[in-house]
Amino acid sequence: MEPITLTTTIAKPREAVFEYLADVANHAEFSDHCMVEWHLTREDSYGRGAGARFRVKSRFDRFSYGDVTLAEVTPPQRILATGRSGRFNRIRTRSTWTLEEAGPGRTKVTFETESTPVLKSDELMEKALRVRVATTRCHKRALERLRSILESGDGRGERTTVAGGARKPASGFRL
């Protein structure tokens, strides 16, 4: 899929927007309308290496699970997330959040995402399911919700956690 680029302006300082986006556990709050069942892939959800697995709400798609990992975190201007989705996790995905100052206390957020199907059948499925249209719609609404959450606190969803309960301190069970 060719890259999709979307932009919004948020009335918050660039550092505050970056801190929110650099914590992958927050991403479910603004994108849970199209990506559900979020689970963290490690305990630390902030910074480079943090990741999550989720299911994309997509009609007629049998292989709708995907994952994302923050591969590059450059404070306070850029976050690069890589991942995989589709059947056997064959389709590589790449998303970039670029933050620029748009005046005092305002941040211009540019989100770009693309996917790279490995097989011709994956590419045909993307076209048949109109993945580009659905992805654009999903992320456009996600950016609107992100702006709403950061500016006024409205529309907050549930924050993602690690599956299985608390890890620290240990339960006291000794082997």
pLDDT of residue 172: 52
- Residues 150, 139: Cα–Cα separation, whole Å: 16
> Could you tell me the pTM of the whole model?
0.84
Whether omega for the bond prior to residue 76 falls within 30 degrees of 0, making it cis, is yes
Identify whether 20 is part of a domain: yes
Identify whether 175 is part of a domain: no
Identify whether 170 is part of a domain: no
Contacts of 59 (CB under 8 A, 6+ apart): 129
Residue 115 domain boundaries: 4-152
Identify whether 138 is part of a domain: yes
What CATH number is attached to the domain comprising 67?
A: 3.30.530.20
Identify whether 166 is part of a domain: no
Identify whether 118 is part of a domain: yes
Could you read off the pLDDT tens digit of each residue along the chain, which spans 175 residues?
688 899 999 999 999 999 999 999 999 999 988 889 999 998 889 999 999 999 888 766 667 889 999 999 999 999 999 999 888 788 899 999 999 999 899 999 999 999 888 888 777 767 666 777 778 888 899 999 999 999 987 766 666 766 665 555 555 555 4
Residue among 46, 82, 88 nearest 67 (CA): 82
Domains contained in the chain, number: 1
Residue among 7, 12, 9 nearest 105 (CA): 12
pLDDT of residue 164: 60
Identify whether 171 is part of a domain: no
pLDDT of residue 119: 81
Identify whether 13 is part of a domain: yes
pLDDT of residue 123: 74
